[in-house]
């Protein structure tokens, strides 16, 4: 039987954590990664020292991710020394050279955020952008809003290129209610898919403070979407006789 290319598991990152109980809740729910925002202008900002304290709570095989926006290579490296097993997420205007300089020529894994226009995703050349960052572990897709970060907004997933030859992470306005639709739209277009949620699993009106119930609902919705996508492909290619 031909292997099902959509049978892979969508990885999950819970981002913008600031509290011990939220780190514990994300790990307990089955998240693959947790994100700490080291951008001082963010409502979810934590210091590198605080990120290190929180990351020490993580069990094995759950990856801490340090998010930076236009930070100097020296400051990125200093923060990474405090969280030695962290992946880096560049979420500003960092050039390929700056990403490499801050990660020891790519020795530390990193993701590069692509800011997708809300009105017309076709106006952004994702294939060209991805080609500029061949050392990136993944390209993270976020909505382009004022400032940095998706602002809880989703872009039009259906307008993304039909085939993107790299790993993608989908972000921007994801919630337990819509993440399944996002996976259905984006997963067939890329090598593998991860999803990245922040405001969609927060306590109402409390940036940086997560709701454990919403976290579990989000993880369950991702797993359900994976199962549905794999099943749909199987039935389409091997219909019952």
Q: Which residues are catalytic?
A: 15, 142
Alpha-carbon distance 147 to 85, whole Å?
28
Torsion of CA 195, 8, 156, 213, to 10 degrees: -40
> How far is residue 173's CA from residue 169's CA, in Å, rounded to a whole number?
13
Cα Rg, the chain, nearest whole Å: 17
CB 169 within 8 A of CB 111: yes
């Amino acid at each position: 039987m031909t292997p099902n290319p959509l049978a892979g598991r969508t990885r999950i990152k819970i981002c913008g954590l600031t509290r011990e109980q939220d780190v514990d809740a994300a790990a307990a729910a089955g998240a693959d990664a947790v994100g700490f925002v080291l951008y001082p202008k963010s409502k979810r900002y934590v210091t590198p020292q605080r990120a290190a304290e929180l990351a020490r709570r993580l069990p094995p095989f759950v990856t801490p991710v340090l998010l930076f926006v236009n930070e100097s290579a020296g400051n990125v490296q200093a923060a990474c020394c405090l969280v030695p097993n962290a992946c880096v997420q560049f979420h500003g205007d960092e050039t390929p050279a700056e990403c490499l300089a801050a990660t020891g020529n790519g020795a530390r894994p990193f993701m590069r955020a692509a800011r997708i226009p809300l009105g017309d995703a076709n106006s952004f050349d994702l294939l060209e952008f991805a080609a500029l960052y061949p050392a990136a572990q993944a390209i993270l897709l976020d909505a382009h809003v004022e400032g940095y970060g998706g602002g809880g907004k989703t872009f039009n997933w259906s307008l993304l290129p039909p085939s993107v030859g790299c790993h993608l992470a989908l972000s921007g306005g994801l919630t337990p209610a819509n993440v399944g639709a996002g996976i259905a739209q984006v997963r067939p277009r890329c090598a593998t898919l991860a999803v990245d949620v922040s405001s969609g699993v927060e306590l109402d009106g409390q940036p940086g403070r997560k709701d454990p119930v919403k976290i579990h609902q989000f993880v369950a919705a991702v797993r359900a979407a994976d199962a549905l996508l794999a099943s749909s492909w199987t039935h389409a290619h091997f219909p019952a006789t």
